[in-house]
Amino acid sequence: MNKRPATTIYDVARTAGVSIATVSRVLNDPQKVNEETRASVFEAIHRLGYVPKAEARARAMQQNRRIGVITPYFTAPSFVQRLRGVASTLRDSNYELVIYTVENMHKFNRYIETLSINHYLDGLIVLSLQFDNSFAERLLEYGLETVLVEYPHQVLSSVEIDDEAGGRMAADYLVQKGHRELAFLGDTVIPEFGIHPITLRLAGYRHRLAELGKPLGNDRVYTVAYDMDATRRLGREILSGPRRPDAIFCATDMQAVALLKVARDLGLRVPGDLAVMGFDDLDVAEYVGLTTVRQHLDESGKIAAELLLSRIANRDRPVQHIQLPLSIVERDSA
Amino acid sequence: MNKRPATTIYDVARTAGVSIATVSRVLNDPQKVNEETRASVFEAIHRLGYVPKAEARARAMQQNRRIGVITPYFTAPSFVQRLRGVASTLRDSNYELVIYTVENMHKFNRYIETLSINHYLDGLIVLSLQFDNSFAERLLEYGLETVLVEYPHQVLSSVEIDDEAGGRMAADYLVQKGHRELAFLGDTVIPEFGIHPITLRLAGYRHRLAELGKPLGNDRVYTVAYDMDATRRLGREILSGPRRPDAIFCATDMQAVALLKVARDLGLRVPGDLAVMGFDDLDVAEYVGLTTVRQHLDESGKIAAELLLSRIANRDRPVQHIQLPLSIVERDSA
DNA sequence: CCCTACAATGAAAGAGCTTTCATTGAAGCG
DNA sequence: CGCTTCAATGAAAGCTCTTTCATTGTAGGG
């Protein structure tokens, strides 16, 4: 049995009349090599049927140039927007973006284990997932650089916002605009992922309202599943009921948008009869003119990615806990 | 402090007090090394949690399979929604999702070339990018299974919609609703990616309108950059001008939403004074109650992924060109 | 005892890549 | 024209292992 030795990068280099370095570059960083050279290298590759050996490649590369993002099954626009931020940073950094979606903690657990062990990511970004200590230990032990978004942790870098402050800002804003009958609309807690910023937003709102002498009664706090239809149904109920609030702070833009629509359907003038305020500043907020508390989602993704890259480039950089500022974006709804 | 990037064979050797050659032998050819030595090497391996690195990576690359998605820099909601579909299919299939964003054809070209050769993806999905024959040849030659979305190609599988038919459907719908002064609003052509469904949507619309005896004059075709602000400005102009149309078909939901907002700001009743119709059925269409031509973006991503997986599982499956149906989703705006 | 045989081991040379660093030639510019 | 800049390239070092080959020590055989 005569084994034909596989073609290597050397064969390609010889055939194309260049050095192996150039061949390697053509494959990994093509913009660094001249158009013509590139063409002729490709031709050689093509003619010899060259396929790089994964094992040798992995060996030579200290890095993989891959960043993973773990996110809850990404159906919520807020995840998408953060992801977009991550992608925009990674795009011009020559890192690949690998996405892992998890539906439950179990799967999350599995990802953490296998990813940390087989060292084939250079860094990890975890979006909006509860993160317990055992995960952190594992990651540290295996040296997988990680940045958490929306869930702080002692020993890992994180990017967060102050949800409570956001609630307070909304309270201040609405009261200052002269509204008297304030309410809150949020979604119900999903226990699965154990993270629930909504609770904090409500707490801040409520607390501040109390300070301003307009305590928020429990009958003014509505909760509903994170679902358009359900939210609209509830909205209709609230808005056509006897004691209609004149301003509602919604825990997320999605709910605010649903409410806005109901209000319009009912012929209410916004913000005259009803002020609606959201939280997040999703793209859609701009489309419909929703006044909202902006948490700059794109930016949070961007910053998380930048943080990660800087730590990867230099392991000595300290762990950081970045608190992103919130601001009120005034549009037409409140 | 557990700052361990990765344990190498050298660490093990040092710990066990032997040379790396011996460690290697213990792993690959154990009977060649003395019983006691072997035991102590194993102990060291255990204590350090050593996993042969290069090998582990290569193995991981071998068995963890990867699907790549190439998309234009994903800022447009329609890409995101398709991506979501892709992710949802891949999620329970043991495939990783790797995302490549391209800003121009040049970079796209690069990706195609290197990805096909590197053998590093098991399949590829291309979203909304013009795809010329040389790409297809390259992919076929290197056996990288590919599915195109929104851009048909002879020899590669694809998932498409009939944009022209969509335009016709809109025309039918609006005319049947009794509107008389019809117009069209679309975004200007971006030559970069060479794909422009908008043109087709307009063509279908115009053609059908002509058939229905209501030819669309050029003065009733508005174009504007794909940008909220610009669209709103133009919208204001159109709607407050002398010959206001009573129905506008927008080439994309984004524009329809912008227009809707302007109409409301101007106090027009929708759909009484003005009917607005979109195209895509983005999430936002539902939020704001936009009547639109649905192309089921999530579904297109899902189907593309399924198609891809089935071809990967069985190379004999035929190439398919799937034409996704369009439908009109009647909401409140028209 | 000396000599061969052989088991156990380490030093060092690959293996097939990537990446750094230095070199070269061609612009750009005052 | 000299001088700086910069893109394109090759030489060589480096990555983590495997394998070859030389070395050592020990056990038998004469």
**Which of the residues B70, B255, B283, B333 would you substitute to probe the A interface, choosing the one with the greatest number of A C-beta atoms within 10 Å?**
B283
Contact in structure between A160 and A323 (CB atoms under 8 Å): yes
Is residue A189 predicted with pLDDT exceeding 80? no
pLDDT in tens, B216-244: 989 999 999 888 889 999 999 999 988 89
Helix (H) or strand (E) holding A303: helix A297-313
Q: Sorting pLDDT into bands at 50, 70 and 90, what band is B50?
A: confident
What distance in Å separates the CA atoms of residue B250 and residue A84, rounded to the nearest whole number? 26
Cβ contact, residue pair A45, B117, below 8 Å: yes
Name the residue among B97, B110, B287 with its Cβ closest to that of A98: B97
CA B283 to the chain's CA centroid: 15
CA of B73 to C1' of D5 (A): 32
Strand C bases near protein CB (under 7 Å) are 7-12, 15-20
pLDDT of A314: 78
Strand D: which residues 33-52 of B lie within 7 A (CB)? 52
CB less than 7 Å from strand C: which protein residues? A 5-6, 8-10, 20-21, 23-25, 27-29, 52-53, 56-57, 59-63, 65; B 17-22, 25, 32-34, 36-37
Q: What residues of B are in contact with residue A42 (Cβ under 8 Å)? A: 113
B58 touches strand D (CB under 7 A): no
The percent of residues in chain A predicted with pLDDT above 90, rounded, is: 54
**Which of the residues B2, B7, B24, B57 would you substitute to probe the A interface, choosing the one with the greatest number of A C-beta atoms within 10 Å?**
B57
pLDDT of A14: 92
Q: Sorting pLDDT into bands at 50, 70 and 90, what band is B68?
A: very high
B24 touches strand D (CB under 7 A): yes
Is residue A68 predicted with pLDDT exceeding 90? yes
Sheet containing A221-224: which strands, arranged edge to edge?
A: A221-224, A182-187, A247-250, A275-280, A291-294, A327-329
Tokens at B68, concatenated: 């790549």
pLDDT of B3: 40
Q: How far apart are the first and last CA of chain B?
A: 65
Name the residue among A31, A50, A257 with its Cβ closest to that of B287: A257
Is residue A326 predicted with pLDDT exceeding 60? yes
Q: Sorting pLDDT into bands at 50, 70 and 90, what band is A192?
A: low
**Which of the residues A73, A83, A92, A99 would you substitute to probe the B interface, choosing the one with the greatest number of B C-beta atoms within 10 Å?**
A99
**Mean predicted confidence (pLDDT) in A56-64:** 83
**Mean predicted confidence (pLDDT) in A187-196:** 71
> Which is nearest to A266 in space by CA: A243, A230, A233, A224?
A233
pLDDT in tens, A12-53: 999 999 999 999 999 988 888 999 999 999 999 988 988 898
Tally of CB atoms within 10 A around A36: 8
Buried residues in A198-207 as b, exposed as e (16+ CB within 10 A): bebbbebbbb
pLDDT of A31: 85
pLDDT of A5: 60
Residue A24, nucleotide of least CA–C1' distance: C18
pLDDT of A290: 95
Helix H, strand E, coil C: the string for chain B is CCCCCCCCHHHHHHHHCCCHHHHHHHHHCHHHCCHHHHHHHHHHHHHHCCCCHHHHHHHHHHHCEEEEEEEECCCCHHHHHHHHHHHHHHHCCCEEEEEEEECCHHHHHHHHHHHHHHCCCCEEEEECCCCCHHHHHHHHHHCCEEEEECCCCCCCEEEEECHHHHHHHHHHHHHHCCCCCEEEEEECCCHHHCCCHHHHHHHHHHHHHHHCCCCCCHHHEEEECCCHHHHHHHHHHHHHCCCCCCEEEECCHHHHHHHHHHHHHCCCCCCCCCEEEEEECCHHHHHHCCEEEECCHHHHHHHHHHHHHHHHHCCCCCCCEEEECCEEECCCCC
Cβ contact, residue pair B332, A55, below 8 Å: no
To the nearest whole number, what is the mean pLDDT of chain A?
89
pLDDT of A78: 86
Tally of CB atoms within 10 A around B176: 9
Buried residues in B47-68 as b, exposed as e (16+ CB within 10 A): ebebbbbbebbbbbbeebbbbb
For A167, A219, A261, B115, B286, the CA distances from A229, given in Å and listed in that order, are 25, 21, 11, 43, 10
Q: How many CB pairs under 8 A join A and B?
A: 139
CA of B31 to C1' of C5 (A): 19
Tally of CB atoms within 10 A around A195: 16
**Mean predicted confidence (pLDDT) in B166-175:** 96
Q: Which residue's alpha carbon is at the shortest distance from the C1' of D17?
A: B24
pLDDT in tens, A253-278: 999 999 999 998 898 988 889 999 99
User: What is the per-residue DSSP string for A185-204?
Assistant: EEEPP-GGG---HHHHHHHH
CA of B21 to C1' of D17 (A): 9
Name the residue among B5, B261, B283 with its Cβ closest to that of A77: B283
> Which is nearest to A167 in space by CA: A129, A127, A199, A194?
A199
Is residue B186 predicted with pLDDT exceeding 70? yes
Is residue A152 predicted with pLDDT exceeding 70? yes
B53 touches strand D (CB under 7 A): yes
Strand D bases near protein CB (under 7 Å) are 7-12, 14-20
pLDDT of A29: 85
Angle at CA A258, nearest 5°, toward A252 and A259?
Answer: 90
**Mean predicted confidence (pLDDT) in A313-331:** 90
Q: What residues of B are in contact with residue A269 (Cβ under 8 Å)? A: none
pLDDT in tens, B146-163: 999 998 888 999 999 999
> Which is nearest to A249 in space by CA: A194, A182, A168?
A182
pLDDT in tens, A227-236: 888 999 999 9
pLDDT of A73: 76
Cβ contact, residue pair B101, A91, below 8 Å: yes
Contact in structure between B96 and B87 (CB atoms under 8 Å): no
Name the residue among A55, A103, A141 with its Cβ closest to that of B55: A55
Angle at CA B237, nearest 5°, toward B233 and B240?
Answer: 130
**Mean predicted confidence (pLDDT) in B267-283:** 92
CA of A88 to C1' of C28 (A): 33
Shortest CA distance from B60: residue in chain A: A118
CA of B113 to C1' of D13 (A): 29
Shortest CA distance from A58: residue in chain B: B54
Shortest CA distance from A332: residue in chain B: B265
What distance in Å separates the CA atoms of residue B40 and residue B124, rounded to the nearest whole number? 47
User: What is the per-residue DSSP string for A218-264?
Assistant: GGGEEEE-S-HHHHHHHHHHHHHSSS--SEEEESSHHHHHHHHHHHH
pLDDT of A193: 63
pLDDT of A1: 36
Cβ contact, residue pair B3, A143, below 8 Å: yes
Q: Is A276 helix (H, G, I), strand (E, B) or coil?
A: strand
With the CA atoms of B231, B234, B239 and B243 taken in that order, what torsion angle do they form, in degrees rounded to the nearest 10?
-140
Q: How far apart are the first and last CA of chain A?
A: 81
Helix (H) or strand (E) holding A39: helix A35-48
pLDDT of B239: 93
Long-range contacts of A159-163 (CB under 8 A, 24+ apart): A159/A300, A159/A303, A159/A304, A159/A307, A159/A322, A159/A324, A160/A321, A160/A322, A160/A323, A160/A324, A161/A197, A161/A295, A161/A300, A161/A323, A161/A324, A161/A326, A162/A323, A162/A326, A163/A197, A163/A198, A163/A200, A163/A201, A163/A204
Q: Which residues share a beta bridge with B146?
A: B124
- Supply φ then ψ for residue B135, to 5 degrees: -60, -50
Q: Is A314 helix (H, G, I), strand (E, B) or coil?
A: coil
The lowest-confidence range among A73-82, A163-172, B129-138, B257-266 is A73-82
The lowest-confidence range among A2-6, B137-141, B199-203, B231-235 is A2-6
CA of A34 to C1' of C29 (A): 25
CA of A25 to C1' of C23 (A): 18
Cβ contact, residue pair A118, B57, below 8 Å: yes
Q: What residues of A are in contact with residue B96 (Cβ under 8 Å)? A: 98-100
